[in-house]
Structure 1
């Protein structure tokens, strides 16, 4: 075999290896972190890992459930080549809304959930007005809406937390209580089951309905989609409404899990949700926003955070480690895109 043939063979092998890493980089990172955290948290006395226990696996699944639900909503907006930075503020708004309906107004659980979802659609209405009607870039528009609804939530709650039997600004004690059934949906197994149902819905919608395919067409090339007869603006509006619905659902489950509405509780889910949605782009070589990839991205983020906590990594150094590992995962995933 001459030198030229050997070089071509090595090049082909290298491309195959890099293609495999690009396609499965996220899942390989999850596996690697799983192995590292398993042995880093090994208990010599019991000859077992305190990381690899059923209780801790459930803890990880529970911790990623809300992130996944909010990130699924973001996946729809990314599918039309948009970006919704208002999801965290929307979740925070929903958290405050539903808690006040229970505590301040003593409204029943079903009506409280429905009213919260309807009111939170106002976020989508403003996003669509700015993006579709006024043609403001998605990121700039949703950033302004994010700040707007952070202020709305704080103003509505008088700048404080919402808890059972709290004393309101007018000096009256709140008589309403959070229903036990509502608190139950914020715990396992219901929260995990709901997360899986949401992922299954998004997967089916995006891959097996014409509306999902049209969203991908709009995201891929809006002008070509328009010339093909696809109502581009309609599907952008649909994407932002779905994003708002799932962000609001995330806020409702935050309230169910914690039992209170804390200042900026929903805002903390913004960056993990964005990371989950973007990391999931190329899981299994999808190359586009997708529900299964978003779930895998959320697992990576949740696994990383859980493992670092168990290793007693200082909170002020945790973001450095998380950011570094996420950057590596993204590098493995996207390094070949320019070459392909």
Structure 2
């Protein structure tokens, strides 16, 4: 009894690491990179890190919402690719304004989210397998739509003529500082409030914790799972739209490189503050960890072929601290 009381009342190193391991990793990286490179903690570089994680964070927020109901969405990168292709093509090919271009891209993403939701919730295909399949399908749709070409202003069309449209200057501002950072922070704050302080967010967490118990308690499980996949696709599209604004072109499979970083950010976020569940603030912290790591490695001139090894090792360490307590 005495030992048990001591265990409950005393300091536990692993409890501390479980709750604060990710934050500790960030602090250690900040100290290491600031010593290794005096330019690391400059204002311009901090802004550069925040800008670099903005798109990853927005896409990861979509994954976070799907995780909150016990699901998982691997198709977000491909949905982002579709949204980039559509929003830029609306300007360049069809001479539409910013409102119409963005609206069409968002509507297309909701169609993608509805396909995922129908197959997972109604047909009952396992979420990871289904979104893996739709990842390839949506990727193919994006490639087919663009005909495997990069969409940009003044591009040469298939008929030999120059594309008639121009990208709106207003749209171009979305991908620039400070707007890209502001949009990221607003997305994180809105989703944090939604998941933490609203009835609907709490229902999603209950569903993610025990779907059958949620159903028996009267929560419309099907409705909230469908909403989760729609929102996941919607935020992937927002990330894609911001990406299009940032680079002003629609490159082939532009959203694909963001998938794994977004997944890592969402899962690392589970541990922040010991929450043990997907949450928007934790996802932001996870994205910050990834951004600091990538930026620091570039500053240290780490060869690109070794960068994934270092990044994967540090991320594995952060996750080991997070999940040790679950043994």
TM-score normalised by the chain length of structure 1: 0.93
- Mapped pair 1:35 → 2:37: no
> How do residues 106-125 of structure 1 correspond to structure 2 at under 5 angstroms?
106-125=95-114
- 1:337 matched residue in structure 2: 326
Residue 238 of structure 2 is aligned with which of 249, 267, 271? 249
> How do residues 16-27 of structure 1 correspond to structure 2 at under 5 angstroms?
16-27=12-23
Paired residue total: 327
Q: For residues 259-279 of structure 1, what are the alpha-carbon distances to aligned partners after superposition, in whole Å with 9 as ceiling and x for unaligned?
A: 101112101000000000000
Please tell me whether the aligned partners of residues 163 and 259 of structure 1 are also in contact (alpha carbons under 8 angstroms): yes
- 2:157 matched residue in structure 1: 168
- Mapped pair 1:75 → 2:71: no
Q: For residues 13-35 of structure 1, what are the alpha-carbon distances to aligned partners after superposition, in whole Å with 9 as ceiling and x for unaligned?
A: 98612111110000000000000
- 1:231 matched residue in structure 2: 220
Moved over 4 A (4+): 7-15
Q: SS at 1:161's partner residue?
A: coil
- 1:44 matched residue in structure 2: none
Return the offset for 1:11: 6.2
- 1:91 matched residue in structure 2: 80
Return the offset for 1:10: 8.6
Residue 310 of structure 1 is aligned with which of 299, 302, 311? 299
Q: For residues 89-146 of structure 1, what are the alpha-carbon distances to aligned partners after superposition, in whole Å with 9 as ceiling and x for unaligned?
A: 0001100000000000010001111111011111111101110111000000001111
- 2:173 matched residue in structure 1: 184
Consecutive unaligned residues of structure 1, counting only runs of 5 or more, are 42-48
- 1:51 matched residue in structure 2: 40
Return the offset for 1:170: 2.3
- Mapped pair 1:198 → 2:187: yes
Q: For residues 199-225 of structure 1, what are the alpha-carbon distances to aligned partners after superposition, in whole Å with 9 as ceiling and x for unaligned?
A: 000100001111000000110000000
Return the offset for 1:173: 1.2
Please tell me whether the aligned partners of residues 118 and 226 of structure 2 are also in contact (alpha carbons under 8 angstroms): no
Please tell me whether the aligned partners of residues 86 and 146 of structure 1 are also in contact (alpha carbons under 8 angstroms): yes
TM-score normalised by the chain length of structure 2: 0.97
- 1:102 matched residue in structure 2: 91
Distance 1:83 1:239 in 2: 10
- Mapped pair 1:294 → 2:283: yes
Distance 1:201 1:113 in 2: 20
Distance 1:180 1:320 in 2: 40
Q: For residues 57-101 of structure 1, what are the alpha-carbon distances to aligned partners after superposition, in whole Å with 9 as ceiling and x for unaligned?
A: 000000000100000011000000100000000001100000000
Distance 1:158 1:335 in 2: 47
- Alpha-carbon RMSD across the aligned residues, in angstroms, is 1.5
Distance 1:107 1:281 in 2: 41
- 2:200 matched residue in structure 1: 211
Return the offset for 1:251: 0.4
Choose 1 or 2 for highest CA Rg: 1
- Mapped pair 1:221 → 2:210: yes
Q: For residues 211-262 of structure 1, what are the alpha-carbon distances to aligned partners after superposition, in whole Å with 9 as ceiling and x for unaligned?
A: 0000001100000000000011111000000001100000000000001011
Please tell me whether the aligned partners of residues 63 and 266 of structure 2 are also in contact (alpha carbons under 8 angstroms): yes
Please tell me whether the aligned partners of residues 158 and 169 of structure 1 are also in contact (alpha carbons under 8 angstroms): no
